[in-house]
Structure 1
Amino acid sequence: MPPIDSPFLGIRAAHSNAGADVPVIVESEHLVSLCFDGRGMQSTMLRVAPDALALGYTRTMMGFLLLQPAPAHIGMIGLGGGSLTKYCRRHLPDAHITVIEINPDVIALRDRFCIPPDDERLSVVCADAAQVMSTTTQTFDALLLDGFNAHGLPAELAGAAFYTACRARLNDDGVLVANLLHGDPRLGDALTALRDTFGPSAALAPAEDSAENLIVFAWKSDARLPSLETLMARAARHAGRHSVDLVEAAVRIELGASYDWTRLGACLAP
């Protein structure tokens, strides 16, 4: 694979400290957390287990492995404290991981969250994800979307143009998983755009241990969502290789299959 930076060199993120989202680290004896301007926890790391997924919504997002069990190239939008980055790098040794993060101040904190340096398997790029997705020729087996600022989901990452570009960058068996927030002013727009882009090839899941997060799974193919029995069987095959309980994710995907996308967006938006 060519150096991951090469397609992105012309679209580096323009970022000024004036008016920018300033990351704040909050520490305790057992935890290190990332916030923006002291408002809203973005990421949390356990000091005794830096690669563990401490927040439930990240564990639910790993349910993408039930739909794409062997991703060779994973794209992540939003670095935060690197929870998903570290977990995937450790537990998916055959995967190359590209992380796109617009905020250089967040990237500058990677050592505080034990995010390993870039190497042949990991590339962290400071760039505008919306521009990257609309211009790159690279393709992905999985795209994990978890990009937020202090105000919630940026408009550039919530519309039909962005999700259409993401779908185009997925391989034929590729999967997209997006973290959305209840009460986010763009939640309804994001749900509508995802549904319009992926049609029936999408499913919702309530996040583990969180009433604030809603996880969307979407896939490139026209295949139907696998049955709960199939998802459970796939989770069992991953059991020896992961610390995350993918059975929990399977149950949550099945639960979300009954959700009404339109009513949900209207009810949960502010």
Structure 2
Amino acid sequence: MTDSQHISVYREFCENRLVEILDGKGTRSLYFGGQYLQSRMALHAPHLLLLPYTHYMMFSLLLARKIERVLLIGLGAGSLVRFLHHHFPTCVIDAVDNSERIIKLAKGYFQLPTSHAIRVHCLDGNRFFEVAEPEIEYDMILLDAFDETGMATHIYAEPFIRSCATFLASGGLLISNLWSGGTRPAQDFDAELAPILPGGLLLPVPERGNVISIRSHHQPDWRRICRGKEQLLQLEKHYHIDFPQMVKVAMRHNLSIGQRLARLFSL
């Protein structure tokens, strides 16, 4: 991936895959397999989310009733951990990744915060649920377990999703980064979630291969999503995320024309 606009700061074969870290134009990026961008960080503001799919995962902020405890399956370079810890510093975050080397890179190269509120676990996701305290309930569970071959098959599977639902708070959200370009369509996987978590939204990320699934024990509250324009603009300014545009995408892909018109006229 190196070229005249990028400086290589790390490169090695790690666990049978090429892992590279490149700097360029004020950013630091993590690549797998020589071409697959996994994460990107702004060196001047590490808490900012730079990749579009992470913005759409944080669409869930419109629906979250509270954000006191979060579970992230798939740490990568830690973009979502940095973002959540910056905006919700007292939130307890459990970040799970089965690669000790990737965890070390996140800490050593991507400014993963050090805090009593952040607990990093070098475990397989299924093993984490086996050893987790059964009384724990998460307000958000974020699935972002990818490598250069696509979605981690043992994570994006019905048994694992049932474990997620067990540890999800009553008003909690399961947010999954799906890849529509894979051999398994995102919509098919999301349909398998419906019997487990009946309330849901699908958010295709414009001009990207990602589709974000947001699932819950309850149907989504569209009054929280379709807020007034000024409220959405304030959220956009605060989080540096284009909430007005994401609301349009959510309505277009999850509501009928009649439902959309009813929502627009109710604002």
TM above 0.5, yes or no, is yes
The aligned residue for residue 25 of structure 1 is 21
Select the residue among 38, 48, 56 that pairs with 1:52.
48
The aligned residue for residue 246 of structure 2 is 249
Q: TM-score, normalization: structure 2?
A: 0.80
The whole-number CA distance in structure 2 between the counterparts of 1:229 and 1:72 is 19
- The 1:19/1:90 distance shift into structure 2, 3 A limit, reads closer
The aligned residue for residue 93 of structure 2 is 97
Higher relative contact order (CA 8 A, sep 6+): 1
For 2:154, what is the secondary structure of its paired residue? helix
Alignment of 1:136-155 (within 5 A): 136=132, 137=134, 138-155=136-153
Cα deviation for residue 241 of structure 1 reads 4.0
- The 1:149/1:72 distance shift into structure 2, 3 A limit, reads same
For 1:198, what is the secondary structure of its paired residue? coil
Q: Is the 8 A contact 2:62 2:224 kept in 1?
A: no
- 2:33 matches 1:37: yes
More strand by share: 2
Q: Is the 8 A contact 1:22 1:105 kept in 2?
A: no
Cα deviation for residue 67 of structure 1 reads 1.1
- The 1:102/1:229 distance shift into structure 2, 3 A limit, reads closer
5+ unaligned residues in a row in structure 1: which ranges?
1-16, 260-270
Select the residue among 217, 222, 227 that pairs with 2:222.
227
Q: Is the 8 A contact 2:65 2:172 kept in 1?
A: no
The aligned residue for residue 115 of structure 1 is 112
The whole-number CA distance in structure 1 between the counterparts of 2:150 and 2:22 is 19
The whole-number CA distance in structure 2 between the counterparts of 1:252 and 1:23 is 33
Q: Is the 8 A contact 1:23 1:105 kept in 2?
A: no
Q: Is the 8 A contact 1:204 1:253 kept in 2?
A: yes
Cα deviation for residue 80 of structure 1 reads 1.1
Cα deviation for residue 154 of structure 1 reads 1.4
The whole-number CA distance in structure 1 between the counterparts of 2:18 and 2:221 is 41
> Rg: which structure is higher?
2
Q: Is the 8 A contact 1:62 1:246 kept in 2?
A: no
The aligned residue for residue 14 of structure 1 is none
The whole-number CA distance in structure 1 between the counterparts of 2:213 and 2:38 is 18
The number of equivalent residue pairs is 238
Percent identical among aligned pairs is: 24
Cα deviation for residue 253 of structure 1 reads 2.0
Q: TM-score, normalization: structure 1?
A: 0.79
**AA of the residue aligned to 1:53:** L
Q: Is the 8 A contact 1:33 1:42 kept in 2?
A: yes
Cα deviation for residue 247 of structure 1 reads 2.7
